[in-house]
Amino acid sequence: MALPNPPDGDDPTLPPSPGKPMLQRNDSLERDDDGADDPGTAPEGQLTPEEEREKIKALHDFDIQAGAMYYLVDAAWWLMWSDYVGFEDGSEARGSRPNEIDNSSLLAPGSTAKLRPYINEGRDHVFVLHDEWELLRAWYGGGPALPRRGITQGSTAVVELYGLTLKVYRSSDLSAAPVEMNISKAATVRELKEMACKEFGVVGAEVKIWDYFQKKPYALLDTPSKQLEQCQIMENNDMLVEEKDAEGKFNLKKNEGVGVGSSSTYSSGGNQNVVTSTAPPSQKGVVGLQNLGNTCFMNSTLQCLSNTPPLREFFASGDYEAEINNDNPLGHEGKLAGSFGSLMKMMWPQGDEAISAVAPRGFKYQMGTSNPMFAGFQQHDSSELMNFLLDGLHEDLNRIQDKPYVESTESDGRPDDVVAKEAMDNYKLRNDSQIHDLFRGQFKSTLVCPSCGNVSITFDPYTMISLPLRTAQEEMQQSYSVKMVYYDAADSKWVKNNLTVSIPKGAEAGQLRAALSTATSIPVERIVIGQILRSYIYKFFDDSASLDFVKTGTSTIIAYDVEYPKAFEYDEQPRSAYSRRAAAEPPKVDKAAMVLYFRKEESVTSTYITSSYNRTMKALYGDPLLFCHPKETSPNELYNAIADLLGKDKVNPEMFQIRVADAFGKPTDNHVVDRADMKPVTHGLKPKLHLVVEWVDWAKEQIQGMDGVQGKDEPEGVSGATPPSPGGAASAADENDDGYEDGKLHLKQCLELFSTEEKLSPEDAWYCSKCQQHVEATKKMELWSTPKVLVLHLKRFSYSRYYRDKLETPVNFPLDDLDLSPYVLEEPQSENGQPAQPPIYDCVGVSNHMGSLGGGHYTACGRSSEDGQWYKFNDSHTSPMQPQGVASGDAYLLFYVRRDLARAYLPVPQNVEE
């Protein structure tokens, strides 16, 4: 569809138009909750949910296009709005009308325009068009507006979330502080030059632009049409404007000592790594790799390969150069192999050259050229890079010049060893390289038709084994982290426990409620489930509610033990007279349902172009509490009841005041509940009452430090004790069965899970050649043979349309003597006249992933072939480590070398102190 033209001056990555500030003030963030309404509130004559949905749907079906403008909307807010209008599935409207748009969670601290690092589409935000944003802002108000422009990255159009901040020097005054310039990654060298000339008041013909990396002339940018990202210009990159000397000449020369590569200018490709530290390394090969901008995933993989001796030696020695296949159409003209080889040579220099850190810019450049997915500076999965890199190196070094056509090999009842050899021989007719000599093994795959019993056995090559951390049945389950809150009358305190329960994927809230009841022994009829967002409950779930949308990364599922759950589930949001969905009748209960929020003042820094100032505003904090109280409750009785709930030995009614609030915890009409009022608090109000507790000034210091284990931002009286009488549910997070020991899974169990027979899902149905139809066959994968270098991938990540999961299960794995004999079907074979070697392996490297999927970080552990010691690699930083620290819960990729090769390369380590 056609996209609207972007509004002038809205691109935050380009200089502002004259007289137009780059950062726009956002009134919705610059007022107290009790302040006046935002100027952008919905116009009179509010649309029905269905009308809103249709107007946005008419615009929302778009593809990202370079040059078009897009706006970010907080994913949690979009989720509430989608639920309110029935946007995702086109069903009738449901849920409550959301409050004003709040994009503050997307912002960097202290900023009203700059985004915080590592935000992800879907989890943190969604993109909408300019016209969509204008409609949403008109209907709901709020903000701030966060426009971003589409750019071309490689061959793909993407939205540029973060521009480049460059530090620009001029050669005539290198002692002066650099000028910071903000520019798009998609800007060209010509555009940067024009901007710099305008800043310094010089003529373009009189200057040249240099990549001044490490404050040295790294590369001349002499192709005006080339984009800065194609030149590998990074965030906070130093740049230099070279001016002619007194004789009218350019004298600056490229610093030949800064790196190893094939080119001195980007006009011819620029494939150069850079030495960033010449301090003596703690051991040869223990070289850090500078993070070039979200490249920790790449650095982690490279460190593991650098510490895989047979591979590293093949490249560092230069032996690979004789095997480069420049003509393979599936390869990269030998450039990927050349770039990797150059980096290995730099990390493992000949002689006594001292290098302790390298910026792998040349390798990063070539990876982006070979695969546009890696062209930018986004975080990626290290296993994806590993797969692509091994395949790319293989094709660059493939000894086969002309690949013949070969048919797939079927068993047809023949012996496995005959079929496996035939399949491998056929494979080698097209694929033969040093990479596959080291990394290639063979799977045996068995499929059985449930209708006719037809058996299909195939043998396929692999370079990495992906090991499940849970069974196929468990893969069909979805785990939910839930805060379970209940009141312990015996101890007069609220208790909060974090649980993880598993229910079938696609299940409804009623199944989650039942699982929580099983895990805690709280009767299911007393449990109410809600979704909490920034300390308010924006939604309660009835039993039929879908849970597909709850994993946004910014919201949490919370559950309570209450007397009347149905009173809380009642949707009190008034419906439009035009809505097809009739409003539900409020439940008939004896008590009023009360939602108790907590609010405090906090300091906020407001940022403008020329200045910033601090102010205070009131904000919700902690988790709200739910309780039921008699309807005819006087204000004084309500104050006493809340004081008792919060801890009668520490809190009294004089310490706080109560305000009546709306469903978002925002006080209505500044209504303070007066203790002296004799009228019942619930008089004339609906069954569900929202209240806000605010501490009086003199009590604020007394309540600090009185929060036990619940954390400094939790309301007093909520603790993190265990739930009452756990029912022993297999779905509870602290369960320890099925082979788990001390909460850890053993690698041998992962290998057993890998070879467990499973039934294919309807989506993965297999075509049976005898039945001539797709069937849900049984499938079994087994290891037929293993390679010299074994890479094991622990499958921690799972993805779906609405959520991303990471399994944090620790896995115990041996650093020495990993014996795969029980899991390998083929008997060990002799190689080149040498005795057959059993499949016993020693670990040489581990790629670790810690944290969440979007904002996580990669590190590596590597065993040095020089001294046999283990070292930790965290980007540029390296340090020795004890072996017992290697097998951590962050382990993601495991690199093993077969015992005969390991013994040839690895010395016996000495004890080391960290």
- Asked if 74 and 105 count as a contact pair (C-beta separation under 8 A), the reply is yes
What does 116-180 look like in DSSP terms, one character per residue? Answer: PTT--BTTTEEEEEHHHHHHHHHHH-EE---EEEEEEETTEEEE--S-EEEEEEEGGGTTSPPEE
> With bands split at pLDDT 50, 70 and 90, how would you rate the model's confidence at 586?
low
pTM of the model: 0.69
Of 268, 285, 320, the residue at which a domain comes to its end is 268
CA gap 292, 167 in Å, rounded: 16
Judge if 678 and 592 occupy the same domain.
yes
Q: Can you name the residues that pair with 617 across neighbouring β-strands?
A: 602
CATH number at residue 52: 3.30.2230.10
Judge if 155 and 172 occupy the same domain.
no
Judge if 169 and 144 occupy the same domain.
no
CA gap 148, 162 in Å, rounded: 9
Judge if 547 and 521 occupy the same domain.
yes
3-state secondary structure of 775: strand
Judge if 132 and 179 occupy the same domain.
no
Residue 290 in any domain: the answer is no
pLDDT of 842? 96
Judge if 522 and 634 occupy the same domain.
yes
- Considering the chain, what percentage of its residues have pLDDT values greater than 70? 77
Average pLDDT over residues 875-881: 94
> With bands split at pLDDT 50, 70 and 90, how would you rate the model's confidence at 25?
very low
- Asked if 689 and 625 count as a contact pair (C-beta separation under 8 A), the reply is no
Q: Provide the 8-state DSSP code for 507.
A: -
Closest CA to 537 of 476, 597, 612, 627: 597
Which pair of tokens denotes residue 522? 């709280």
Residue 260 in any domain: the answer is yes
pLDDT of 705? 40
Give residue 516's region: left, alpha or beta (phi > 0; psi -120 to 50). alpha
pLDDT of 672? 79
pLDDT of 804? 59
pLDDT of 706? 39
What does 194-227 look like in DSSP terms, one character per residue? Answer: HHHHHHHT--GGGEEEEE-GGGS--EE---TTSB
Helices 361-370, 382-396: crossing angle, 10 deg rounding? 80
Quote the number of domains for the chain: 3
Residue 675 in any domain: the answer is yes
- Considering the chain, what percentage of its residues have pLDDT values greater than 90? 39
CA gap 303, 861 in Å, rounded: 8
Judge if 670 and 643 occupy the same domain.
yes
Residue with the bigger pLDDT between 623 and 716: it is 623
pLDDT for residue 489 is more than 80: no
pLDDT in tens, 173-205: 999 999 988 888 888 999 999 999 999 999 988
Question: How are beta strands 778-785 and 758-759 bridged, if at all?
Answer: antiparallel
Of 268, 288, 306, the residue at which a domain comes to its end is 268
Judge if 650 and 621 occupy the same domain.
yes
Which pair of tokens denotes residue 62? 């778009």
Residue 814 in any domain: the answer is no
pLDDT of 221? 94
Average pLDDT over residues 76-97: 76
> With bands split at pLDDT 50, 70 and 90, how would you rate the model's confidence at 633?
confident
Which pair of tokens denotes residue 541? 């779930």
pLDDT for residue 441 is more than 90: yes
Judge if 205 and 79 occupy the same domain.
no
Closest CA to 887 of 899, 870, 912, 909: 870
pLDDT in tens, 690-737: 888 888 888 776 665 433 224 334 444 444 433 333 333 333 333 333
Residue 683's domain comprises 474-570+585-719
Cβ count within 10 A of residue 638: 23
End-to-end CA distance of the chain: 59
Of 268, 289, 321, the residue at which a domain comes to its end is 268
CA gap 773, 767 in Å, rounded: 5
Tokens 């949910």 correspond to what residue? 49
CATH number at residue 187: 3.10.20.90
pLDDT in tens, 855-871: 689 999 999 999 999 99
Judge if 92 and 212 occupy the same domain.
no
Average pLDDT over residues 831-853: 87
Which pair of tokens denotes residue 483? 């805060």
485-504 burial, b at 16+ Cβ within 10 Å, e below that, comes to bbbeeeeebbbbbebebbbe
Which pair of tokens denotes residue 309? 């001796």
CA gap 144, 466 in Å, rounded: 43
Residue 731 in any domain: the answer is no
Type of residue at 666: K
Question: What DSSP element (H or E) covers 292?
Answer: none
CA gap 263, 23 in Å, rounded: 40
Tokens 């030995």 correspond to what residue? 649
- Asked if 119 and 45 count as a contact pair (C-beta separation under 8 A), the reply is no
CA gap 657, 333 in Å, rounded: 73
Judge if 618 and 660 occupy the same domain.
yes
Whole-Å CA distances, 93 to 80, 507, 508, 552, 695: 11, 20, 18, 20, 38
Judge if 38 and 77 occupy the same domain.
yes
Most confident segment among 49-58, 617-626, 659-668, 709-718:
49-58
Cβ count within 10 A of residue 277: 17
Question: How many C-alpha atoms does 332 have within 13 Å on its Cβ side?
Answer: 21
Closest CA to 135 of 63, 73, 64: 73
pLDDT in tens, 6-17: 333 333 333 333
Q: Which runs of E-coded beta strand occur in 346-397?
A: 357-359
Residue 646 in any domain: the answer is yes
pLDDT for residue 657 is more than 80: yes
